[in-house]
Chain A
Amino acid sequence: MHKLGRSHRDKVQQFMTITGASEKAALQALKANLYKRYKDPYTDMILVDGITLLCNDIQVDPQDIVMLVLSWHMKASTMCEYSKQEFFTGLQALGIDSLGKFRERIPFMRSELKDEQKFGEIYNFAFGWAKEKGQKSLALDTAIGMWQLLFAEKQWPLVDHWCQFLQARHNKAISRDTWSQLLEFARTVDTSLSNYDAEGAWPYLIDEFVEYLNENGIISNAQSMTDWSKK
C-alpha cells in the first residue's frame, strides 16, 4: 500500500498506539481530518472557500492547471466544488493521506499532462467539469478560458486564432462534440492545414474555422508560403 516516509510512519505508529487502530483505519482517519479542514461549515461538501484554503496549503494557485488534474483524479462532476466522495476518491487515487504527501504529488500531477493519453482524458474530462450543471453545452467564455489553459500546456499554435474566430463568428455555446474533436484537430492537422480533409467528418465549426483562416490569409497554401520566404 502506501510507502510511508519515516516521520510519517512514526506518526501513524503513534496514532495506532494511542488509539489501538489498524494501519488502514489510521490512514482513513488522517484523510478524514483533511476533509474536515476544508469542508464547508453548512454542507457536506468542499466549496470555494475550502478550495482556496486547500490551494494555499499545497502552495498552488487556484487557476493553476494542476487543479484540473486533481479534479480529474477526483472525478469531480463540476468545478468549484468537491463532494466528500469525490475528495476521498482523489486522495485514494493519488495515494495522499497528508498535506506533505499532497505537496509531494504536485510534480507528478504536472507530469501527467505531458502524457499524450492522459492529457486526452483530462481534456475531455474538462468539458463536463467546466460546464454548468444541467446544461448540455459549455458557455463560450468558459470554453475559451479552458482552451487557453490547456493549450498553453500542449502547445497548439492556432489556439489564439481559434478563440478569436469563435468570438467573432460563433458567439454561442460549444457542444461536446466540437470540444472533443478540436483536440483531434490540434493533434492531427498540421499548422499549414496541408492534411486537412474538407470532406472529412470534422464538426461544422471546425470547417468554418478553416475557412476563416483561409479567408483572412492566416493560412496560405504551401506554394505561397515558399514564395514569401524567398523574398
Chain B
Amino acid sequence: MGQESKFIEFDQGWADMQKGISKLKRLLAGEAETPFSTREYMTLYTTIYNMCIQKGPYDHSEQLYNKYKETLEEYITSTVLPSLEEKHDKFMLKELVQRWLNHKLMVKWLVRFFHYLDRYFINRRSLPALNVVGLNCFRVLVYEEMHAKVKDAVLVLIDEEREGEQIDRTLLKNSVAIFVDMGMGEMNRYQNDFEVYLLQGTTSYYSRKAAKWIGEDTCPDYLLKSEECLKKEADRVYNYLHLTSETKLIEKVQHELLVVHITQLLENDHSGIKMDVLCRIYLLYNKISQGLKLVANVFKQHVTAEGTALVQQADAAASNQASNAPSGHEQVFIPKITELHDKYMTYLNSCFQGHSQFQQALKGAFEVICNKTVNGSPGAEILASFADHVLRKGGSEKLGDDDIEERLEKIVKLLDYLIDKDVFAEFYRKKLARRLLFDRITNDDHERSILSKLKLQCGALFTSKMEGMVTDVVLAKENQASFQEYLRNNPDVHPGFDFTATVLTTGFWPSYKSLDIILPTELVKCVEVFKGFYEKKTKHRKLTWIHSLGTCHINGKFEPKQIELIVSIYQASVLLLFNESGRLSYSEILSQLNLTHEDTTRLLHSLSCAKYKILNKEPSSKSISQSDTFEFNPKFTDKLRRIKVPLPPVDDKKKIVEDVGKDRVYAIDAAVVRIMKSRKVIPHQQLISETVEQLSRTFKPDIKAIKKRIEDLITRDYMERDPDQPTMFRYLA
C-alpha cells in the first residue's frame, strides 16, 4: 500500500474527495458504475485522516466537517428537492421513499469516508456526530418542507383504502416510517406531524359514516358494520402504521361509531331490540372504557320510560272510572309492571351477563316506577291492594297454588323497590285485618307464605305485628269455644241469639276509630255478657269495642218473603230503631244513635239510596239530606234469601299515611338513640347519614325531621351538644 504521510494541501485533498463523492452520487443515481473497491475506500479514508492529523493551521478538520455538511446540502438542494417538487400524491411518496433510502446510503458511505472526524474532532468540539448531521440535513431541507404534503398524501391513500380501493401498503408503510425516522429516537415527529392528523381525519371520516348509517341501517346491521370497521382499522395499524397508534385510533373509531349515537342506536329499532343484538352490544361496548355505563344509562332511561308509560296508562284508566267504584286498576297494572320487570331481568341475565352496571340501572329504573302515584294512590298502596286481591276470597281462586305463590314472590320483589315500605306495611295490615275479620281468607298457607317472604326481605320487625294479628284470630277461635261453654253454663245471661266476639291485641292491629254509638239494647246485652265472661278469665285487661268491624245478621220480615240481611253493627243499630218506631227523621236517628252527620248520612245512604232499598226515604232523592224522613220498606225483596248490604268504607288513606308519619317519628327517635348509645360522641353529619342508613330498610327519612327529633332528644336530655364544638353530639347516659 505504501502510505506516505505526506503533507496535503486542502484544495488538493478536497479535489480528491470530490472525485470519490461524485462516484458515490453516480452509484446512487443508478448509473453504470463500479462499486467502491477496498483500495478506493481506503484512499478516501486516509486522505481525510491525513488532513486531520496535520499540525497547526494545516489541520483541516473543521473545514472538512463543514464540507461534509455542505456536500449533503448541495446534493439535496440540487438534485433531491427538484425531483420531489415535480411529483405529487403517491408518486411523490414513491420518490420520497426512494430519495430517503438513497440519502441514508449516502450518509452511510460518507460517514465511512469521513470517519476520522467522528473519532476525535467531534468530541473535542462537542459537535454532533456525522450521521446525525447527515440525517439532520435531510430533515431540515427535505422533511421540513414536505411533511405536510406527505401527510396529506398518506391520509388520502388511507381514505381510499377505507372506501374499498386497493392501495400500495408497502409504500404507505415506508412513508409512515419516515415520520418515525425523522424523530431520531423520539416519536414526536410522528405524533405531531402525522398521527394527530391521522386521528382527526379518522374522526371526521367515521363521524360522517356514522351519521349516514344511523339513519339508514337497523341496529344489528349498524353493529355489524361497526365491528367490521374496528377490525379493519386494527389491521391497518398492524400493517403500516406505528403500533403506538393502535389504542388511540381504535378509541376514536369506537367513539364516533358507538358512543356518539348510542341513544339513537339503541332506541331506533321499533320492533324492540332482540336478544342476540343485545349480546352483541354488550360485547362491543365492554371494550370501550365507560362503554357499559353508557349503555346501562340508555337501558335505564328506556326501562323507566316504559314503566312510566304504564303508570300513566293506569292513571288515565283509573280516573276515567266513576270515583265511587272500587279501583281495580291495580289488577292490570301490577302484572304489567311485573312483566316489564321479568322481561328486563332476562335481558340483564342473559345478554348483559348480570353485570353490576345493568343491575344498578334496572334497580334505578324500577325505583322510579314503583314509587309513582296512580290516581292519588301511592305505589305502596297499589301493591298492597294487589296483594289483598290475590289473597282474599273471590280474588284468585281460579289460579293454582303455584301461580299464587309466583304472584306473591313478584309482590315481594317489587316491594324491594319501594321507598316507603312502612306505608305498604300499614296498608297491608289494614287489608289483612279486613281479610281476617270478615272471613275472606282463601288459604292460610298463602298468608303465611307471604309473611315469611316479607320477613326474609324486610326483617322480623316488619312482619311482627302482622304475625301477631294472625295469631290473635287463631286464639280468638279457641276463646270462642270457652265462651260458648260459659253461655251454656250461665243460661240466664244468654242474650237470646248467637253471638261471637273476637279479642284483638291492640298493639298488633291497625288503629280504628271507635264511635260512641248508642247500641240497641239487644247488642248492649251482648257486650255486657262478654265482658262478664272475659273478666272472669283475665284481669288487668281493658276491652274497647270496635263496632265498625262487627257484623250482624238480621231477619227482615218483608211482605213478599223473609230475607236475612248481613249488615254492619252500625247499620243494624239503625234498622233496629225501626222495630220501635214506624217512621223516623234524620235528626231523630242521629240523636238516638249519637252519631255524627257524616256517619249518619253514610249509613242511611247505604240502606235507602244504594242497591238495596230496605228503608223508604222521603223525599226519594238520590242523596241524603238532613230534612229527610225514613220508614221501613215492607215491599222490599230480592231473588236471594240472604243478602249482604254493603257499607262503603271511609277512605282512610289519609289517616293511614298520617299514622305512618307518627310511627316514623318514633322510628327516627329510636334510631338516633341507638346510634348515640353505641358511638357516644359523633359529628352531626355522620349522625344524620347513619340514621338515614339505619332506616333505609323501611323508609327514607326527611333530614329536617331528623333534625327536629335530635333537638327534641336534646331537650329530653338523651344527648347534648358538645359545648366546645357545636357540631358534635354526645350521648347522655
Contacts and interface: CB of A to CB of B under 8 A. Distances in A.
Given A199-B685, A200-B684, A200-B727, A176 B708 contact: no
A204 B715 contact: no
Interface string B668-688: 000000000000000111000
Interface string B708-733: 10011011100001000011010000
Contacts of A177: 711, 714-715, 721
Contact of A175 (B685, B707, B714): B714
Contacts of A203: 707, 711
Listed residue (A184, A201, A204, A205) with the most chain B CB atoms within 10 angstroms of its CB = A201
User: How would you classify the secondary structure of chain B's contact residues: helix, strand, loop or mixed?
Assistant: helix
Contacts of B727: 200-201
B715 A137 contact: yes
Contact of A178 (B683, B711, B726): B711
A176 B704 contact: no
Nearest to B708: A204
A176 B707 contact: no
Interface residues of B, number: 15
Given A201-B684, A204-B704, A204-B708, A176 B726 contact: no
Nearest to A199: B685
Interface string A80-107: 0000000000000000000000000000
Interface residues of A, number: 16
A175 B715 contact: yes
A40 interface: no
A147 B704 CA distance: 25
A213 B689 CA distance: 27
A219 to B, nearest CB: 20
Nearest to A198: B703
A141 interface: no
Contacts of A13: none
Contacts of A148: none
Contacts of A176: 714-715
A96 B716 CA distance: 39
A78 interface: no
Contacts of A175: 711-712, 714-715
Contacts of A205: 711
A105 to B, nearest CB: 29
A200 B684 CA distance: 7
Nearest to A208: B704
Contacts of A181: 721, 726
A136 interface: yes
Contacts of A201: 683-685, 721, 726-727, 729
Contacts of A178: 711
Interface in B244-280: none
Contact of B715 (A136, A199, A200, A207): A136
Interface string A156-190: 00000000000000000001111011001000000
A204 B729 CA distance: 15
A136 B683 CA distance: 25
Contacts of B683: 201
A23 to B, nearest CB: 40
A205 B704 CA distance: 10
A29 to B, nearest CB: 40
B681 to A, nearest CB: 13
A184 B714 CA distance: 17
A24 B113 CA distance: 120
Nearest to A177: B714
Contacts of A136: 715-716
A174 to B, nearest CB: 10
A178 B721 CA distance: 11
A175 B708 CA distance: 11
A200 B683 CA distance: 10
B711 A204 contact: yes
A106 to B, nearest CB: 30
Given A137-B715, A175-B715, A176-B715, A204 B707 contact: yes
Interface in B193-226: none
A178 B708 CA distance: 11
A2 B181 CA distance: 99
Nearest to B727: A201
B711 A207 contact: no
A203 B708 CA distance: 8
Interface string A190-231: 000000000111011101000000000000000000000000
A195 to B, nearest CB: 14
A175 to B, nearest CB: 5
A204 B704 CA distance: 7
Interface of B: 683-685, 704, 707-708, 711-712, 714-716, 721, 726-727, 729
9 contacts: A175-B712, A176-B714, A181-B726, A184-B726, A199-B685, A201-B684, A201-B727, A204-B704, A204-B707
Given A177-B711, A199-B685, A201-B727, 11 more contacts: A137-B715, A175-B714, A175-B715, A176-B714, A177-B715, A178-B711, A180-B721, A200-B727, A201-B685, A201-B729, A207-B707
| 5 A-B pairs closest in CB distance | A201-B684, A201-B727, A204-B707, A177-B714, A175-B715
